[in-house]
Chains A and B, each alone.
Chain A
Amino acid sequence: MHNRVKERRLALGMTQGQLAERVEVSRQTIISIESGRYDPSLSLALKLAALLGERVEELFILSED
Chain B
Amino acid sequence: MMVRMEKIRRTFGEATAEVVALDGVDLSIECGEFVAIVGASGSGKSTLLQILGCLDRADEGSYFLDGSDVQSLTGREMARVRNETIGFVFQSFHLLGDRDALENVALPLEYRRGSISKTRPREVLERVGLLERIKHRPSQMSGGERQRVAIARALVKEPRLLLCDEPTGNLDSDSGAQLLELLSELRTELNTTLILVTHDQDVARRADRVLTLKDGRWDS
Is this pair of chains taken from one and the same complex?
A: no
B→A interface (CB under 8 Å): none
A→B interface (CB under 8 Å): none
